[in-house]
């Protein structure tokens, strides 16, 4: 079993389709159509992930999350909503929501987000040791950065930005170090790192390729582009080529849906990409 998940949504069809995606992949899924009933569950604290809708007749999803957070700071929370807005995005960040999926979303996106969340949880719990590639000087520099921002309001984001410049990425061990230094919960650090696309938890290759798997790109063949790219570059489980020349990531919308399917290589946006021309595009960066 890969993790316990509670899904709260007043639409039974959404619950069924999430179950259909997650249960065959080994997740233990329970569902509730009522957030009030969900809050009354005696086993509410046993879930690793809670996925909730926002607009529900009995109780607003944000209110539900606030109630959950009163007794549980550690559970990972994901939002699924048909009404995304800047206000709810901002509010969800302050409630340490890890991801925000606009409906409709594809089964592969849901599976990817849930899998990443579970992987991250187990890494944050298990990883205490410092990888050999981090020298004492680098860690000392990180401590100086933390000291410079400590006790200042809004310290977390600038510290994360400088830490990412220093290490190239923000693995769990660095997130924990920052959490300890700034005296904030590690779940808060992880929430911010997951929320902003400019933060990364994985090391990047010399050229980073982002394939959009948002709805507009997905329906125009983004998944096949992704498959061809991974096969063409021989991307391994690390998401990188062996020579660290290329790394591949997925994103959910790059705000350029009119150009779908969209792929970004470093800072260049490529629109109307096809499964056939993706490798020609990438080869330009040789
Ligand atoms: S869905 Fe791909 S750019 Fe919007």
Residue to substitute in 101, 197, 210, 217 for testing ligand 1 pocket (most ligand atoms within 8 angstroms of CB): 217
Check whether residue 152 and residue 173 sit in a common domain: yes
Query: Nearest residue CA, atom 1 of ligand 1?
Result: 214
| pLDDT of 145 | 95
- Would 200 be classed as within a structural domain? no
Q: Does ligand 1 come within 6 angstroms of the Cβ of 254?
A: yes
Check whether residue 259 and residue 175 sit in a common domain: no
With 90 as the cut, is the pLDDT of residue 267 above it?
no
**Residue that terminates a domain, selected from 195, 222, 246:** 195
- Into how many domains does the chain fold? 3
End-to-end CA distance of the chain: 42
d(CA 188, CA 75): 11
CA proximity to 223, closest of 269, 263, 194: 263
Tokens 């096809």 found at = 274
| pLDDT of 122 | 66
pLDDT tens for each residue of 176-235: 889 888 988 888 888 888 888 778 887 788 899 999 988 899 999 999 999 999 999 998
CA proximity to 103, closest of 178, 182, 11: 11
Q: 0.75 cut: is pTM over it?
A: no
Check whether residue 91 and residue 160 sit in a common domain: no
What is the CATH number for 48?
3.40.50.2300
pLDDT tens for each residue of 4-62: 999 999 999 999 999 999 999 999 999 999 999 999 998 888 898 999 999 999 999 99
Query: Ligand 1 centre from 210 Cα, in Å?
Result: 11
Query: Ligand 1 centre from 130 Cα, in Å?
Result: 37
- Would 255 be classed as within a structural domain? yes
In this structure, the strands spanning 263-265 and 268-270 are antiparallel
Check whether residue 191 and residue 277 sit in a common domain: no
Q: Does ligand 1 come within 6 angstroms of the Cβ of 253?
A: yes
Check whether residue 263 and residue 175 sit in a common domain: no
Q: Does ligand 1 come within 6 angstroms of the Cβ of 109?
A: no
**Residue that terminates a domain, selected from 94, 125, 156:** 125
Query: Ligand 1 centre from 12 Cα, in Å?
Result: 27
- Would 202 be classed as within a structural domain? no
- Would 131 be classed as within a structural domain? no
What is the CATH number for 255?
3.40.30.10
Residue 180 belongs to domain spanning: 136-195
Check whether residue 170 and residue 191 sit in a common domain: yes
Take residue 239 and report the two structure tokens written for it.
Answer: 């998401």
Q: Does ligand 1 come within 6 angstroms of the Cβ of 214?
A: yes
In this structure, the strands spanning 4-8 and 49-53 are parallel
Check whether residue 95 and residue 188 sit in a common domain: no
CA proximity to 250, closest of 121, 116, 124, 160: 116
| Distant-in-sequence, close-in-space partners of 61: CB < 8 Å, separation ≥ 6 | 8, 35, 52, 53, 54, 55, 79, 81
Q: Does ligand 1 come within 6 angstroms of the Cβ of 95?
A: no
Query: Ligand 1 centre from 154 Cα, in Å?
Result: 30
pLDDT tens for each residue of 80-98: 988 877 788 778 877 878 8
d(CA 64, CA 74): 15
């Amino acid at each position: 079993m890969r993790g316990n998940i509670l899904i709260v949504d007043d639409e039974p069809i959404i619950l069924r389709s999430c179950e259909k995606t997650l249960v065959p992949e080994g997740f233990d899924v329970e569902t509730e159509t009522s957030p009030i009933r969900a809050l009354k569950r005696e086993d509410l604290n046993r879930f690793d992930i809670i996925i909730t809708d926002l607009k529900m007749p009995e109780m607003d999803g944000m209110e539900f999350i606030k109630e959950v957070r009163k007794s549980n700071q550690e559970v990972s929370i994901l939002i699924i909503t048909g009404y995304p807005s800047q206000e709810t995005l901002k509010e969800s960040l302050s409630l340490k929501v890890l991801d925000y999926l606009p409906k409709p979303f594809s089964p592969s996106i849901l599976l990817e987000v849930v899998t990443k969340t579970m992987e991250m949880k187990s890494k944050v719990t298990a990883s205490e040791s410092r990888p050999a590639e981090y020298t004492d000087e680098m860690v000392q520099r990180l401590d100086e950065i933390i000291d410079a921002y400590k006790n200042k309001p809004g310290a977390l984001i600038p510290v994360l930005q400088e830490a990412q410049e220093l290490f190239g990425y923000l693995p769990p061990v660095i997130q924990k170090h920052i959490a300890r230094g700034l005296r904030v919960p590690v779940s808060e650090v992880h929430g911010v790192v997951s929320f902003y696309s400019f933060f990364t938890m994985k090391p990047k290759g010399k050229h980073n390729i982002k394939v959009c798997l948002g709805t507009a790109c997905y329906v125009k063949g983004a998944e096949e582009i992704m498959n061809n790219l991974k096969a063409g570059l021989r991307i391994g489980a690390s998401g990188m080529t062996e020579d660290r020349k290329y790394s591949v990531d997925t994103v959910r919308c790059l705000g350029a849906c009119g150009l779908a399917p969209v792929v970004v290589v470093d800072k260049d946006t490529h629109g109307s990409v096809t499964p056939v021309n993706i490798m020609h595009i990438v080869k330009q960066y040789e």
